[in-house]
Structure formats: structure tokens, C-alpha cells
Chain A
Amino acid sequence: MYAWMQLSSSADLAQLANAIPTEYDAATVAQTLSGGISDAVKAILIESDYVDKDYRSTYYNFYAKKGQRYRNDCVRLHFFDRTVSFDADKLAPSCADRELNNHYFGYMVLRPTGVATIGRTVLSPDIRRGAGRLIITANHKVHLLGYRFEIHGFPWMNQHVDISVCAHAACWSILRHYSERYNVYREFLTHDITMMAHEFNPGGLVPSRGLQMAHAERVFQEAATFPVHIARSKDKSADPSFYRQMIAYVESRFPIFAAMSSRRHAVAIVGYEWLSALNTGAPRLRFAWDALRSLAVVDDNFLPYMSISTTADAPRSAKDYSAEDIDSLIVALPEKMFYPADAVDRLGPALFKLGAVVGLPPRDNTIIRYFITTGSALRSFVREKAGEFDPRLLTTIMTIPFAQFVWIVEFATESQWARGVVEARAVIDATASLTEAMPLWLFHGQAAALVFDRKTVGQITDGVGVLTLVPAGHTGFTRMERNLRATQAK
């Protein structure tokens, strides 16, 4: 039931085909792994007879009904580094420092379906060659031989081909991340996803004919999220706001269901990487998207965390695509986010009209970055960086009755961006209406803060107060990062 396989190089992965029955197509799996995981993986524990709930959901509802006999069990591969050994008699992995979890890189379930056999998989981004720098992850628990492992990663699987397609796999990845990351969302199995896409059971092979964007939207609705569906203008150069919103949601730790109509393909966007240096050019107002090097995607055709370029300029093979190919997206949001990113994208530049009060940098030397967070997370961040704030501003932030979610807009000069600091920050009410002229809670720089009274509907002129601040003697407030996991390539 358990077999230990040591690897001296990625070529040794070919041995998987000898250790695993043919219906799991281990040869193709080995090929996929050897092209995508790093040499830090030095051992694989092969767990046979594994009962995988996702595969079983499709087995009970589909494969068991077929004339051809399918197995009902799976194989699970566990990946370890060079320090781990395995006692086959005691069925126990061990390592010198007894911290097995620190040497565990995740798992991959193999389905007995002959083709597209890679099922539920959670791998550490650290062992993925070319993984994106910052990745949205959740903590996934793994029970193996009486040990409990934890792996930080994003769920991934191959599409089944016959009963699910790329879009089902992307929906499943995002929803499995949600169920692990947030306890308000329940777990949905592969078969659940195929059923949630339709008002009725389409039966048989209908799901394999594809999924429409409307179906994906329905899946997220059925999962008790509030999906926002944003499509790009046909002229991509005329719609930079589409991409700015995309990175805003990813930075807010919301994975994105992204569709490419020209390829009839869907992936999940789960991370990003900044440019090491901003591309200089004519002075102009810029946005966080302009400082982005790449996005990280979970694509059912490739191992997870694949980096894609933000532009189509770089040479690429026929299989590659860039962010420019993405022309529609769905973000599965919680409730109470009424003020859309389209509004924030336009409100941000308008705040320069108040720039003289709070001390904004020149418009043509500013980079605007916006994202969603909670009032609690903002307070927690400010508390952590208390030394950067005038005590009266800190008190104001602690006492403003924020709605649960707020949009943050940060303003930084080019030099500040490179140092990870910002000159000013606006806090916008995510529950505001589209037509509100002042949907803000707070707008502060180093010299002053504008405090907006939102306790009474209709307060306009009387609802704004200026708080003069004592500069804290720094060259910028720390940029509020959203704690995506930083990949440490191994």
C-alpha cells in the first residue's frame, strides 16, 4: 500500500510508471512532473488504495454507470525533500530534525481514468519551477500514516475531459481554496461543481461539451458567494481599467476565474510578481498594473502557479498566452461589496482635487494602487505600524465605524514605490452607492487627514473635517501588503 521512491534526478520520475498500475497513466504524470517540479523533491511516497472524495463523487455519479469497469480507488503521491527517509517495516517517514512538515512539499492524487489522471493536488509553490513570486494560498491539512501534515498552496487538478472541462476545474480550484481558507464556505466536490452549473441535471457527457461564462457565474452563486462578472472591451488598449481591476482583486487575495474567448479557455489567477524596476517613460499617472511583471495562474493543462506575462510582447510558443488574452473574469466576492472596482478606478485620480490638503505627490509622478480589505485588517495593519502615524490619526482610524469591507487607494511616487512605501492613503466605503459624491471614510497623507462623517446620510460639506498632523519624520507610510505567500524557490 505504501512505496517509497527516492529520486537522484528528475529522470528517476520515470520509475513511477513501474510502480503504479497503467490506468493511472503514471508515465504521463512523470513527464508532467519532471518538466515542472524542482530538484528539491528527492523522494515520493506512493500511497495506493487511497479513497479520494473528489474522484469518488465522479465515480458514483458517472464512471460506475459506464460499461467499462473503472476502479474506485486512487493513488496519492506525497513529495519530500532529501532529508526524509522511510522505514518500510514501520511504515514511518522520518527526518533528523523530527520536523517532517518542514520537509513536505504536498500531494497529488492520481485517478484511475486512463487519461487526464491528475486529480486533487496541492503543491508548495516553492518546488514549482518558474512559479509566480506572490501566491494566494490556504493551509491544507493532509493525514498520512498517522501524521498530520500542512501544506500552503492552491488546489489544482486536470480536467476530467469526459465530464468536466477547464472551466469546471478552475471553479473547483477557487471554491476548494475558499472552503479551506474561510469557514463560511462549504466544500464542493468535482461532481457538485458540474451539477451547480445547470438548473437541472444535464446528465451523461453534457458537461464535457463545455461551460459557458454564465454557467461559471452560476456555480459561484450556488456556492453562496456573490460573483462579480467583468468583461473587457473588444479594444483592449482602450480598456486599461479591466487589467487594473484584475490585479486589484488578486492583491485583495481573491482568486479570479479568468476566461480567454479566443482560446475558449479558463484558468484561475492566483498570484503575481512586481517588476524589479518600473519602466521609465514620459511622466504620467500610473497604476499598480503598470508595475506588474507577471501573473501566476492555475491552469488545468499545466502544473500550478505558472507565470504568464502581462503583455503579449515577449516571444512565446503556440501554447503560451499572456494576460492580454484574458477578456472576461469572475470574482467570487462576499456580500456587502457594493462599490465596484470600476468606480474606485475613476475615483482614485479624482482625489488629486483634494491633494493639496493631504499632500499628494505630483499627479504625473504618482502610482495608484487600490485593493479591498476589511476595516479590521486596516486597523491591525495601522496598529502594527503605529510608530508611522500621528497618535491622533491612529485614534481616528481606530474609532471610525468602518463597514466590514473597505477599498484602500494608495498613492506613491516612483521612488516610494521602489521602497515599498506610500505618500497617502484613502479609505473608501465598499458599501457606498455609485452616485455618492464622497464615498470615503478617510484620506490622509503625512501633513493632514480628511475625516468623513458617514454616520448621517446626506452629510456633505459639514461632514468633512481636517486633522492637521505632526509629520512622523519618515519618507512614507509602509505599503499595506495583503500577505500573499512569498515563494521561496527550492
Chain B
Amino acid sequence: MDDKNDAAHKVSQGLMPIDPSVLKEFLREMNDTVIPEIQKAVEERRLLAAESRQWQLKC
């Protein structure tokens, strides 16, 4: 679907454009804070999991 038809399809679904300032703020939050935090958390979990792999379980 080209851009023009895609836009027409959205209008037919009743979809309106989002306020650009709201979207911009959300994307800034994601790119500047959330995604770096996710990447850091995933890396920390990887290291913690690597350490815990040696735990002996036998009770």
C-alpha cells in the first residue's frame, strides 16, 4: 500500500494523527531513557545469570 492509500485507509478506519508533540516526548523518553535502561538491565541480567549457572542445587 503506498503512502497515499495508506493514509486513506487510516481515515476510513477513523484513525486520526496523534499530536506530534506528545509523540515526540514519548520517543525522547524511549530513546534517551527507557531503551538505554532496558539494554543495561538485560546486560546486567546476563551477567547475573552467568554467575548463578554454577549454583549447586541438591536439597
- Mark A residues whose CB is within 8 Å of B: 165-167, 208-214, 216-217, 229-233, 241, 259, 261, 263-266, 301, 327-328, 340, 342-343, 345-347, 350, 353-354, 356-357, 392, 396, 434-435, 437-438, 450-451, 453, 460-462, 464-468
Contact = CB atoms under 8 A, between A and B. Distances in A.
**Closest A-B pairs by Cβ, 10 of them:** A465-B15, A210-B58, A231-B48, A214-B53, A265-B59, A231-B52, A167-B57, A353-B26, A328-B52, A437-B30
A264 B55 contact: yes
A79 to B, nearest CB: 28
A327 B56 contact: no
Interface string B26-49: 110111011101110110110011
A350 B26 contact: yes
A307 to B, nearest CB: 19
Nearest to B24: A461
Nearest to B31: A437
Nearest to B30: A437
B45 A165 contact: no
Contacts of A350: 26, 29-30, 33-34
Q: Is chain B's binding surface mostly helix, strand, loop or mixed?
A: helix
Interface residues of B, number: 40
Contacts, number: 138
B54 to A, nearest CB: 6
Given A465-B10, A467-B14, A264 B44 contact: no
A265 B53 CA distance: 14
A213 B54 contact: yes
Contacts of A466: 15-18
Given A230-B45, A347-B34, A353-B29, A213 B53 contact: yes
A210 B13 CA distance: 59
Contacts of A468: 14, 16
A342 B46 CA distance: 11
B58 A167 contact: yes
A231 B56 CA distance: 14
Contact of B58 (A241, A264, A451, A453): A264
A217 B22 contact: no
Contacts of A438: 27, 30
B55 A346 contact: no
Contacts of B37: 346
Given A346-B37, A392-B14, A437-B31, A229 B53 contact: yes
